[in-house]
């Protein structure tokens, strides 16, 4: 992870939950296939330095299919079929901003502009969605949300779906902007995600904060 996260999170690394979590992950990797790759687990913190966070888009679990998860919420590696939730995100991006969807699902271009693409759970077993919930990752991701909320500069938090919206309790709502809607999953996208125009709302908020807007366009391969 980027070095400026270390002093903010290092107290976590000596806590009982963290040691138990790492033992669990180590034992899981020894016996079965775990996503993302070990070197990509903290990719969100590696690509987006704490000092650069302007937007936080909160996801849930990593994708559980082969080659999909790359450590960024909603993102997949190049060459992997775009998952349905991300397809709806791209559909809304087209409606909202007129941007053509790219031919891949890697959202690294957003992460490099200060968009923290954070999942609440950072690992998953192959083909078993939600399999690493309630093993300690939620404590760690709550701590990340908390330290982002403590930033001096205002941040736009994007909470799609009921699970993400529970994290409002951690966010300083007097300082930061929260954008909420239904989750982009096909099961819920038509109940309020599609048509919610999150990208223009984020950029409008950043402009009010006196911060440079995000270029949401993603280069084609």
Q: What is the per-residue DSSP string for the chain?
A: --GGGHHHHGGGGGSHHHHHHHHHHHHHHHHS-EES-GGGTTHHHHHS-GGG--EEEEE-SPP-STTTB-SSTT-B-TTSPPPHHHHHHHHHHHHHH-PPPPSS---HHHHTTTEEEEESS--EETTBTTTTTTSSHHHHHHHHHHHHHT-SS--EEEEESHHHHGGGGGS-TTTSEEEEE--SSTTTGGGTTTT--HHHHHHHHHHHTT-PPP-------
Is 215 noted as a catalytic residue in this protein?
A: no
**Selected catalytic residue, list 4, 61, 172, 215:** 61
Residues serving a catalytic function are 61
């Amino acid at each position: 992870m980027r070095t400026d996260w270390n002093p903010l999170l290092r107290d976590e690394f000596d806590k009982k939950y963290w040691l138990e979590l790492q033992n669990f992950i180590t034992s899981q990797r020894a016996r079965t296939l775990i996503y993302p790759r070990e070197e990509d687990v903290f990719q969100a913190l590696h690509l987006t330095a704490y000092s650069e966070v302007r937007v936080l888009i909160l996801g849930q679990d990593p994708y559980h299919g082969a080659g999909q998860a790359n450590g960024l919420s909603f993102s997949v590696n190049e060459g992997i079929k775009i998952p349905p939730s991300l397809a709806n995100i791209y559909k809304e991006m087209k409606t909202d901003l007129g941007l053509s969807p790219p031919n891949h699902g890697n959202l690294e271009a957003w992460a490099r502009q200060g968009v923290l693409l954070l999942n609440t759970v950072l690992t998953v077993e192959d083909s078993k969605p939600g399999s690493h919930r309630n093993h300690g990752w939620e404590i760690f991701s709550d701590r990340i949300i908390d330290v982002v909320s403590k930033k001096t500069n205002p941040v736009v938090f994007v909470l799609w779906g009921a699970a993400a919206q529970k994290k409002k309790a951690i966010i300083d709502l007097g300082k930061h902007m929260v954008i909420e809607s239904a989750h982009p999953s096909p099961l819920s996208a038509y109940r309020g995600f599609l048509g919610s125009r999150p990208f223009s709302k984020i950029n409008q908020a950043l402009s009010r904060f006196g911060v440079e807007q995000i270029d949401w366009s993603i280069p084609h391969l």
